[in-house]
Structures are given as structure tokens and as C-alpha cells.
Amino acid sequence: MLESPLRHRRILVVEDEYMLADELRGELGGAGATVLGPVGTVADALALAKCEDRIDGAVLDVNLRGEMAFPVADLLIEGGVPFVFTTGYDESIIPDRFSKILRCEKPIAVDGIIRTLGRLIDK
């Protein structure tokens, strides 16, 4: 059996849809990651990200209860944390400064997110 690319990695999950957040928590944990969160608001995501001493990667929903999560994305970029956006919206809502960030459209494939985060973290 191949070792998971997320084994012993600390992954921040920022998602406001309960069922998806729970699925991400379970699947990422099953892949060996330590899941930080999930949190469902920009304020909670910023607070958690600021208090953690290490975040290896993140899954970031673009729209959190009507508030765009771009301040969280800026903080992650500032800290050198690789992440993926998840969204049901098209890419036109994402500012140009995030043009190089991978966007996974909902409904998401969690196994694909796991592989993608593994690649991003190992760069």
C-alpha cells in the first residue's frame, strides 16, 4: 500500500457546508492528515490560521456564508501555505491575484483534493 501524501500533514479546512466539511474532515483524517477545523466563517478561519504554528496546506471555500474568503487566502499566501479553492461559482469571481491558485469546482472529489494537496505540499 502506498503511503498517503498527507500523512503527518496539518491541513486547514475552511468550509461552511456542514456535510462537505465533515466529509473533508473524515477523508483527510483517513489519509493521515491532522485536520485543523473545519471552520465555516472568515473570522474563524483567520483566527485559527493565526494561532497555528504550522499549517502544511489548506482547502478554502471561496464563499463562506456570503463573505468571500480572500482575506484568508491572502494570509495563507503570506505564510507560504499551499491551498486549493473550492467553489460552485465560475472563476470570474476570483481576483486576478489568485489566478495561479487551483480552483476545484463543487461538487468536489475529495480524493482529487488529497492528491492535489500532496503535490502542492511536496513542491
pLDDT for res 30: 95
pLDDT tens-place string over residues 30-49:
999 999 999 999 999 999 99
Q: Which position has the grid cell 473533508?
A: 24
State how far the Cα of 61 lies from the Cα of 39, in Å rounded to an integer: 10
Q: Count other C-beta atoms under 10 Å from residue 43's C-beta.
A: 12
10-121 CATH fold: Rossmann fold (3.40.50)
Cβ distance 29 to 4 under 8 Å?
A: no
Is 71 exposed, middle or buried, given 0-12, 13-18 or 19+ CB atoms closer than 10 A?
Answer: middle
Which parts of the chain register pLDDT below 50? Answer: 1
Q: Count other C-beta atoms under 10 Å from residue 61's C-beta.
A: 26
Domain ranges of the chain: 10-121
